[in-house]
Structure 1
Amino acid sequence: MTGFAAAAALALTGALALGTTPATATGAPDPLTRYHHQHLTWKSCVRGPDDDTGKDLQKAGAQCADVTVPLDYADPGGRTLTVAISRIKATDTAHRVGALLLNSGGPGGQTLGDPPWVRAAMKDTGKRYDVVGVDPRFVGRSTPLDCHWPTGSQFRSPGHDRAGFDRSTAFAEELARDCQKYEGDVLPYVTTRNTARDMDVIRAALGERRISYLGYSYGSYLGEVYTTMFPGRTDRVVLDGVIDPGRYNPRLLRGAESANRHALRDWAAWAAVRDPAYGLGRTRDAVLAVVDRIQRAAERGPLRVGDYRVDESVAPLVVFNGLSQDNDPAYGDFAAAVRDLRDAADGKAVTPGPWLADMLGFLLTGSESEYGSVQTSILCGDVGAPRDPETYWRDVQHARARDPLFGPVTNDIGPCAFWDAPREHPTTIRDDLPALLVNATGDPRTTYQGAEAVHRDWPGSRLVTLRGADQHAVFGVYGSVCVDAAVNSYLATGRLPAADVTCTATPH
């Protein structure tokens, strides 16, 4: 992963000049006035009888609106997009703090439906905020983007040999070609910087001078970019599952192999204790041997799992995607999936359980093509990737020697190798953000080392550590009373803890 170019400072200056105040220094009119002062029409979030998200929002007292933003902020009079938002208004109006905007990660994740559970996690503090969910540009209910992919994810394992890597390369090139074919006219504008600009339009349209912000995972990077591009526009900032901006690029999973191996071992120990329920082995090593056996079988030929064929490029992704939540239900779902894959490897007829069926549907069909399309478009549009396949092949070989299961996955080639160069330089993130950072020590997605790096770079920040959990995203998700109390205290008072906070995970 590379750092950011010094020339990004020039791009940042240009971004700040795009009408972030009512008038320019010369008195020229703000080109974004019609966006900043637009009237929002609040309405029911329910879109039909099967709209469970809308029903949950309605039950929580939320309403929804569409915010109009420019496709290209350099041409605000041109084509426009809609960004869908939801809002649960503050009920303690006498002590109202303001609006709290949310982003749950991805990139490409839908956040419109998040205010009810975030509001619940905030307890009494939530009564003092307008809690606002946002589906970022091209996501969910906002103006859509769909490259018509045969998968919901760009990620694959390159397999065990050069032939597998060559197939992976051809697959990545095909995905990039499809995006250019179907969405080439908007791809230059699918970026984090433009999403941050949209956030500031939302802020203004809500009538807020400043906003507070809660971002998970990729949402932490979005928060870093927004606070840098629009200094003085944030109040209280919480970043949970922290991305080190110096390591943010299309290959952001590189370096996560050790954390994922640790999480896999912890899950295997959990499954071994529950061998009567799952039958994967009575020891951690026995369970890990089952995982290795599945991969070797997939290398010999695709495993038949219901209507799906799981080959060596997909089997490691199932394991990788099973390792982000450190709790009994998630561990149980993953254990059932491994049991199904083991039976398929043994030649048995298998009907996949619910979690595995959903995962294979995501990886092997186009049912969630939009998610993969947007996620990849943002990553490729933000930071350029190496273009020579041989770079990836060398990295795969080196990583395979260290971890033959996860190393090839995290170092494999992707569509960004075949993407047009980003239109803007990445944002050089400010170093004086007084944010509250939250991370688990065993986080297999945004590793704890990233949170430590950001904390070192931001002397005014505080770090809340959840020790002993292989958990990605903590506040309101994991169930740590200690973490939730630290975050809610900051949101309630606006005062960061006097010192860093360390919490201990609840044992299984």
Structure 2
Amino acid sequence: MSHAAVSCPAEPGSTGRRGLRALAAAAALTLTGLGLTSAPAVAETPAGADGPARFHHQRLDWHGCRTGPDDKAGETLDAAGAQCAEVVVPLDYRRPGGRTIKVAISRIKATDPAKRRGVLLTNPGGPGASGLDLVVALAQGSPALRSHYDLIGMDPRFVGRSTPIHCGWKTGTFLRSAGPNRRTFDESAALMKELAAGCARGNRDVLPYASTRNTARDMDVIRAALGEQKLSYLGYSYGTYLGAVYTQMFGANAGRIVLDSAVDPDVYGPRLLSRNAPAITAALKHWAAWAAEHDKEHGLGDTTAEVLATVNRVNQAAARRPLRIGEYRVDSHHVPYLLFGSLYNDSAEAYADFATQVRTLADAARGTVVTAPPSLKATLDSLFTGAGALEAQAPIICADRAASRDPETYFRDIQAHRADEPLFGPLIRNITPCAFWPTAPVEPTTTIRNDVPVLIAGNDGDPASHYLGQQVMHRALTGSRMVTLRGAYRHAAYLGAGNSCVNATVERYLVDGVLPDGDVTCDRDGAPAG
């Protein structure tokens, strides 16, 4: 999920920080929305439409991307020389003669037509994150990709400009900790029920069609509408699941596929993060060791154990009474989420910012009047007001896999793991809006098992897409190879980690078509590991 959770939390959701602008963001759980204006909603297919293939031959009307004076994302795209267009797709592929929706795409053309080898479609994760301006980050970050590919961004169906779903949430993500007891669990269950009801209002007729399988079908329509025989693809976080589903459904049309920070395809859905506690805890300890080395600057403790004790005191204080952070009241539902969402990037700059946030929380826990630093303020604004909400995240996840509708299932699971997962277990095992969703998935969850050639890139300390889950994806895609950045406690490897070994391995495949003979391991200094 990202900081969001699922994306990564939105994709904590998933909640990552933007670096390279979209790449570190591709890693974030919360890849927040870009504030793009919406495309026209549902239209009717002209009479006489004969099936899905008719959508393959549509003519695309390319135009500027900026929609108005406040459209910063469109302004960025236009400044980078991008164009935008809308692709018409069926709402329900089982009924291609029925209602249609529009999917927005962006394009930065290859700078060297003589070397052009096709299109590279991209997805930053989420689910529910806008992907239109990811092409700008890729074009800036990789001259090789820019010269060899038309870079294609996409707002997946019901996201951003693509016939968006609006749930009216007053929170940026549904990811919450269940807190310390039955009362706090019941509070979170009530919130999830309220969030599900918000998505049901005005959207019930489209919710069944928000699935990843339908987005994969949209991708193949985009491929055909662009006049391409093959679709190459680069997906981060949730985007790896989308890419894997595409290979399962349209393997014959798959070009060069790179999946970065792969999710576990056997768990993906409302319970995607349920196995992440060990990875999140390891990432927290890695940061705590750094903070202990910088105790003079941040005052959180001069040993790893003391820094972790400071974190635990904050969580315990928030369980007793909410912490006052500016205009907000932060309680035990929020603290584990705030910690998780700050662990997507292990750079010294990101770690220093996280330490500043924890210092603020620790001061508030002692009753000191505090002002939130900018990064914490932005996260709290999203949590408490809905700013930048990934409103399509829950609709996508809930359309992909059914969830238990019995709250006791979740409470028992949390209680069973309180001893071994005291801080993050109540967060990652908590109930979600899918337990109260008004519609059921209309198709079975996709089983990923194929031999399409794929390159998987990842970090072995990734807290959001844990390494064991990445390896599950690797085994499921029997034609895949894997490049691993060793000792990296972050989300997103290619370009986002700035590692020359990883970058070279990915670009050798995307540009030259050379998959490694076997799996590759890279060290943090950019050298292949022995």
Which of 417, 422, 441 aligns to 2:435? It is 417
Instruction: Assess if the C-alpha contact under 8 Å between 2:109 and 2:146 holds in 1.
Output: no
SS in 2 for 1:64: strand
Which of 397, 409, 425 aligns to 1:407? It is 425
Which of 406, 414, 417 aligns to 1:388? It is 406
The one-letter amino acid of 1:109's match is A
CA distances 1:135-194 after superposition (whole Å, capped 9, x unpaired):
101111221111111211111111111111111111111111221123111111111011
The one-letter amino acid of 2:466's match is T
- Structure 2 CA distance for aligned equivalents of residues 141 and 274 of structure 1: 44
Task: Specify the alignment match of 1:227 in structure 2.
Answer: 247
Cα displacement (A) at 1:431: 2.1
- Structure 2 CA distance for aligned equivalents of residues 137 and 458 of structure 1: 26
Task: Specify the alignment match of 1:7 in structure 2.
Answer: none
SS in 2 for 1:246: coil
Cα displacement (A) at 1:30: 5.1
Instruction: Assess if the C-alpha contact under 8 Å between 2:251 and 2:452 holds in 1.
Output: no
CA distances 1:97-119 after superposition (whole Å, capped 9, x unpaired):
10000001000011100112112
CA distances 1:424-477 after superposition (whole Å, capped 9, x unpaired):
111122321210001100001111112222222333211000000111111011
Deviates more, 1:96-105 or 1:54-63: 54-63
- Structure 2 CA distance for aligned equivalents of residues 295 and 120 of structure 1: 40
SS in 1 for 2:340: helix
The one-letter amino acid of 1:457's match is A
CA distances 1:61-111 after superposition (whole Å, capped 9, x unpaired):
111111111211122222221111111111221121100000010000111
Distance 1:51 1:300, change over 3 A: same
CA distances 1:352-371 after superposition (whole Å, capped 9, x unpaired):
111101111111212234x1
Task: Specify the alignment match of 1:214 in structure 2.
Answer: 234
Task: Specify the alignment match of 1:323 in structure 2.
Answer: 343
- Structure 2 CA distance for aligned equivalents of residues 276 and 456 of structure 1: 45
Matches within 5 A, 1:45-444: 45-369=65-389, 371=390, 373-419=391-437, 420-444=439-463
- Structure 2 CA distance for aligned equivalents of residues 159 and 191 of structure 1: 30
The one-letter amino acid of 1:446's match is S
Cα displacement (A) at 1:506: 4.4
Instruction: Assess if the C-alpha contact under 8 Å between 1:64 and 1:84 holds in 2.
Output: yes
Task: Specify the alignment match of 2:483 in structure 1.
Answer: 464
Deviates more, 1:454-463 or 1:222-231: 454-463
How many residue pairs match? The answer is 478
- Structure 2 CA distance for aligned equivalents of residues 504 and 244 of structure 1: 24
Instruction: Assess if the C-alpha contact under 8 Å between 1:396 and 1:411 holds in 2.
Output: yes
SS in 2 for 1:424: coil
The one-letter amino acid of 1:224's match is A
- Structure 2 CA distance for aligned equivalents of residues 107 and 459 of structure 1: 25
The one-letter amino acid of 2:487's match is G
Instruction: Assess if the C-alpha contact under 8 Å between 2:50 and 2:97 holds in 1.
Output: no
Which of 501, 509, 518 aligns to 1:482? It is 501
The one-letter amino acid of 1:63's match is Q
Deviates more, 1:172-181 or 1:377-386: 172-181
- Structure 2 CA distance for aligned equivalents of residues 159 and 289 of structure 1: 18
SS in 1 for 2:122: strand
Deviates more, 1:41-50 or 1:292-301: 41-50
Task: Specify the alignment match of 1:24 in structure 2.
Answer: none
- Structure 1 CA distance for aligned equivalents of residues 441 and 392 of structure 2: 15
Instruction: Assess if the C-alpha contact under 8 Å between 1:83 and 1:142 holds in 2.
Output: yes
- Structure 2 CA distance for aligned equivalents of residues 364 and 41 of structure 1: 39
Instruction: Assess if the C-alpha contact under 8 Å between 2:449 and 2:478 holds in 1.
Output: no
- Structure 2 CA distance for aligned equivalents of residues 182 and 504 of structure 1: 50
Instruction: Assess if the C-alpha contact under 8 Å between 1:121 and 1:484 holds in 2.
Output: no
SS in 1 for 2:150: strand
Task: Specify the alignment match of 2:60 in structure 1.
Answer: 40
Instruction: Assess if the C-alpha contact under 8 Å between 2:121 and 2:153 holds in 1.
Output: yes
Cα displacement (A) at 1:223: 0.4
- Structure 1 CA distance for aligned equivalents of residues 172 and 154 of structure 2: 21
SS in 2 for 1:213: strand
Q: Which runs of 5+ in 2 are unaligned?
A: 1-47
- Structure 2 CA distance for aligned equivalents of residues 124 and 175 of structure 1: 43
Percent identical pairs in the alignment equals: 53
Q: Which runs of 5+ in 1 are unaligned?
A: 1-27
- Structure 2 CA distance for aligned equivalents of residues 281 and 52 of structure 1: 41
- Structure 2 CA distance for aligned equivalents of residues 281 and 506 of structure 1: 29
CA RMSD of aligned residues (A): 1.5
CA distances 1:379-418 after superposition (whole Å, capped 9, x unpaired):
1110001111111111001121112110110111111111
- Structure 2 CA distance for aligned equivalents of residues 458 and 184 of structure 1: 34
Distance 1:347 1:122, change over 3 A: same
Instruction: Assess if the C-alpha contact under 8 Å between 1:259 and 1:447 holds in 2.
Output: yes
Instruction: Assess if the C-alpha contact under 8 Å between 1:70 and 1:78 holds in 2.
Output: yes
- Structure 2 CA distance for aligned equivalents of residues 33 and 380 of structure 1: 28
- Structure 1 CA distance for aligned equivalents of residues 473 and 403 of structure 2: 23
Cα displacement (A) at 1:32: 2.5
Instruction: Assess if the C-alpha contact under 8 Å between 2:103 and 2:157 holds in 1.
Output: yes
Instruction: Assess if the C-alpha contact under 8 Å between 2:240 and 2:262 holds in 1.
Output: yes
- Structure 1 CA distance for aligned equivalents of residues 213 and 363 of structure 2: 46
SS in 1 for 2:205: coil
Instruction: Assess if the C-alpha contact under 8 Å between 1:148 and 1:182 holds in 2.
Output: no
